[in-house]
Chains A and B, each alone.
Chain A
Amino acid sequence: MLSIRDLHVQIGARKILKGLNLEVKAGEIHAIMGPNGSGKSTLASVLAGRAGYDVTQGSITYQGRDLLALAPEERARAGLFLAFQYPVEIPGVNNAYLLKAALNAVRKQRGEAELDAFEFLGLVRDKMRLMQMDESFLSRGVNEGFSGGEKKRNEILQMAMLEPKLAVLDETDSGLDIDALRVVANGVNSLRSPARAIVLVTHYQRLLNYIEPDFVHVLSDGQILRSGDKSLALELERRGYDWVRQEASAA
């Protein structure tokens, strides 16, 4: 589904990713872990198409297409979803408007009919129940005045509505208390499917207690230094990141 080859990315003159390789197949859940500043969020941003990142080398292929040639909205319509680390507050743009516009854009691309108001409301109510969100959120501005936890829930709500093929979750666990973490994890798990891939970008192992990954990768200084199964995450939790870096430089 997603194939990243030798990816080099810089912001201005600063090199952030330095030859990153990653293969993600449908049905898989990958966790990308690493210390602060290792390039995790850069990877998520480049996948979604945020401006300001220069890809100087390498390629990203998504479902056989050159992902880097697509505009952010084309990526979204092709089934890629980024749950933001810092969801943006947009006063004056109604949450329901965004959900509906986004859903219909994606549905149109999939060759499905637009939902009418009644169908939309039915669907969004189901998903809000799943995310334990009050319906009053629908009439509020996008993320406007939401707490940190509410913003993250709202991201997963959008994801549940859009049913992406590839979901990239950027530090979705940061700033969540244990109850909110459970709700968010529950939302993500509800989307697990053989047809869908999920990439979790996270600093801590905590989220992985609730969303069990198939693969864990350690990203450090712009490269994936080590890959393994979920036991690698536990080892990182116990030993920190330094040993991975030391082993990598020794090799």
Chain B
Amino acid sequence: MNEAARTTVTGRYREVFEAARPSLRGAAAWRTAGFARFAELGFPGPREESWKYTNLRRLEGRAFRPAAREHARGLELELPAALGEHRLVLVNGYWRADLAGPSLPAGVRVRSLDDAHADETVAPLAMRIPTGGGTESFAALNVAMSADPLLIEVDAGVRCHQALHLLIIAAGAEAAMSHPRVVLRLGAGALARVVLHYRDDEAAERFVNSMIDVELAQEAELYAYRVQAHGSRTFHIERFDARLAAAARLAVRDAQLGSSLARLDLNVSLAGRAAETEITGLFIADGSRHLDTHVLVDHRAVATRSLQDYRGVAAGRGRAVFNGKAIVHPGAQQSNARQSSRNLLLTPGAEIDTKPELEIYADDVQCSHGATTGQLDPAALFYLRSRGLSETEARSALTRAFAAAVLSRIELPAVAELVRDMLDGRLAQLLEMPS
């Protein structure tokens, strides 16, 4: 993008930011700093390496306005089936205390900047501006404009096996933008399960610019289930940053299923000795969806372990990008980094660009990576058809089998079932269409 165009876009966002300021509660200094950083960086352009395959011109061209607080507060919503024991709801980035419940177990606290006097206690914890990476400017914009940042804290030693179902909903007739922000902080030895469930009502185009910020103290354990289930008209940009202290453990089960254009940057920093992460995911780019997933794991300490295992499906005019990277920093000896990216193209017009990367600056490490992109095995298809299954049934069965390897990692049955149902529904639609 040239300088003039960049100025126009940031100029427009500046107007929007200034207009929204009076309604943005608290954290004034952070918001100013956030917007300044955004204005400095602007929207990423196609010349930036991490945006090589994802063009944001369409998003830039849209004049999204911030969603209104009163509107979000007043919306009557049909909520989806529960995916956890406790429900937390953000609508257009606004905290809906009225939809939350039942009350959380002792040692688990949810606070919002929206709460009275939360500014002094919540803002310093919740308003970190991440640096670096392809989504830095969006994260900065998120700090500037996030309506009700949500701070979820689990006290040291509290092991909460009940899942928190965090619904992040975009709704209403307006083509609005929202900047959901969720900060998760687990104390030493704490355990939590959180479902990050993105949805919209497809009533209008939207821009959802989300930031998830995770901090795990020593030996804390977080299971994060991410279900990005937007409709087909949403632009979804998300930055998910996690920092793990010694022997902390993070499992991410990602399902990137919706949106017109979605980009996820998932950055995990294994900062403490023997910290460990396991990131598994599925994306389905059908129709004319563009789904871009960037995973980065930094091994910064001794004996850290990581696994990235993603499977991708593309069909129709769908396009997907997967970039998985692990960096083993100097001194992070005895680390183990494994990556696998397997991709399936169901129709000739679809495209998946995958790039596993390893950077190793230590000598005593174990690393492996692999990436494949292919079509359904013709021999297996023929075998199933020779037993009487229609071509559609055979293709569907083989595609489900392909996805099963990562779906079987989803430990929460309700989440696994939802993702499976969504996959089945998609397959029924896209395989019935003449190719």
Q: Report Cα–Cα, A120/B394, bound state, in Å.
A: 20
**CB proximity of B423 to chain A, nearest CB, Å:** 13
* Cross-chain contact B391 with A84 (CB below 8 angstroms): no
Does B74 belong to the interface (CB within 8 Å)? no
**Bound complex: CA of A72 vs CA of B391, how far in Å?**
9
- Structural contact, B391 and A73, CB atoms closer than 8 A: yes
Give A90 to B402 CA distance when docked, in angstroms: 10
A residues less than 8 Å from B397 (CB atoms): 93, 97-98, 101
Interface contact B380-A76, CB-CB below 8 Å: no
Are A105 and B405 in contact, with the CB atoms below 8 A?
Answer: no
Does B380 lie within 8 Å of A49, measured CB to CB? Answer: no
B173 at the interface (CB under 8 A from A): no
Q: A90-B401, A92-B402, A92-B404 are in contact. Are A73 and B380 (CB under 8 A)?
A: no
Whether the pair B398, A82 counts as a contact (CB closer than 8 A) is no
B383 in the interface (beta carbon within 8 A): yes
With beta carbons under 8 angstroms apart, the residue of B385, B401, B404 that contacts A73 is B385
Which B residues are in CB contact (< 8 Å) with A113? Answer: none
Which parts of A126-165 form the interface with B (CB within 8 Å)? 141-142, 158, 162
Alpha-carbon separation in the docked complex, A91 to B382 (Å): 15
The answer, yes or no, to whether B384 is at the interface (CB within 8 Å) is yes
Report if A73-B389 is in contact (Cβ < 8 Å); known contacts: A90-B398, A90-B401, A92-B402.
yes
Per-residue B-contact encoding for A83-108, CB less than 8 Å = 1, 0 else:
01001101111000110011001100
Question: A102-B388, A105-B389 are known contacts. Are A90 and B383 too (CB-CB below 8 A)?
Answer: yes
Contact B387 A92 (CB under 8 A): no
Interface size class of A (residues with CB under 8 A): 20 to 34
Decide yes or no whether A48 CB sits under 8 A from chain B: yes
Question: Are B400 and A88 within 8 A (Cβ)?
Answer: no
Question: Which among B384, B391, B404, B405 has the greatest number of chain A C-beta atoms within 10 A?
Answer: B384
Q: Does B368 contact A (CB under 8 A)?
A: no
**Chain A CB within 10 Å, residue with most, of B380, B382, B387, B404:** B387
Would B393 and A87 count as touching, CB distance under 8 A?
A: no
Q: Which residues of B contact A101 (CB under 8 A)?
A: 387-389, 393, 397
How many Å lie between the Cα of A82 and that of B404 in the bound state?
28
Chain B 377-416, CB within 8 Å of chain A: the 1/0 string? Answer: 1111011111111110110011011101100000000000
Inter-chain CA distance A77–B328, complex, in Å, is 56
Which residues on B sit within 8 Å (CB–CB) of A105?
A: 387-390
Residues of B within 8 A of A93 (CB): 380, 384, 397-398, 400-401
Residue interface mask A55-79, B partner, CB < 8 A = 1: 0000000000000000111011100
Partner pick for B400 among A48, A77, A92, A162, CB 8 A cutoff: A92
**How far apart are A243's CB and chain B's nearest CB, in angstroms?**
36
* Cβ-defined contact, A72 with B382, below 8 A: yes
The answer to whether A192 has its CB under 8 Å from any CB of chain B is no
Chain B, interface size: which category? 20 to 34
Q: How far is the CB of B69 from chain A (nearest CB, A)?
A: 47
| A102–B385 CA distance with the chains assembled, in angstroms | 9
* B380 proximity list for chain A (CB < 8 A): 88, 90, 93
In the complex the two chains form, is B383's CB within 8 Å of A77's CB?
no
A50 lies within 8 A of chain B by Cβ: yes
B383 to chain A: closest residue by CB: A88
Complex-state Cα separation, A73 to B394, whole angstroms: 10
Query: In the complex, what residue of chain B is closest to A79 when comparing beta carbons?
Result: B388
**B386 cross-chain contacts in A, Cβ below 8 A:** 48-50, 72-73, 75-76, 82, 84
Shortest CB distance B408–A (Å): 9
User: With A92-B401, A97-B397 known to touch, is A77 a contact of B378 (CB < 8 Å)?
Assistant: no
CB of A141 to closest CB in B, whole Å: 8
C-alpha gap A87/B384 in the complex (Å): 11
Residue of B nearest to A102 (CB): B387
Asked if A251 lies at the interface with its beta carbon under 8 angstroms from chain B, I say no
A117 interface hit (Cβ, 8 Å): no
Asked if A51 is an interface residue, CB under 8 A from chain B, the answer is: yes
CB distance from A52 to the nearest CB of B (A): 9
Instruction: Tell whether, in the assembled complex, residue B389 and residue A92 are in contact, meaning their CB atoms are under 8 Å apart.
Output: no
Q: How far is the CA of A141 from the CA of B398 in the complex (A)?
A: 11
13 A-B pairs besides A50-B382, A50-B386, A93-B384 with CB distance below 8 A are: A51-B382, A73-B389, A73-B394, A76-B387, A84-B386, A87-B383, A88-B377, A88-B383, A93-B398, A98-B389, A102-B388, A105-B387, A105-B390
A-side residues, CB < 8 A to B, are 48-51, 71-73, 75-77, 82, 84, 87-88, 90-93, 97-98, 101-102, 105-106, 109, 141-142, 158, 162
9 closest A-B pairs by beta carbon, nearest first, are: A92-B401, A105-B388, A76-B388, A102-B387, A72-B385, A88-B383, A92-B404, A73-B385, A93-B401
Which residues of chain B have a CB within 8 Å of any CB of chain A?
377-380, 382-391, 393-394, 397-398, 400-402, 404-405
A-B contact pairs, 12 of them (CB 8 A): A49-B382, A72-B386, A73-B386, A73-B387, A76-B385, A77-B388, A88-B380, A92-B401, A92-B402, A92-B404, A92-B405, A93-B398
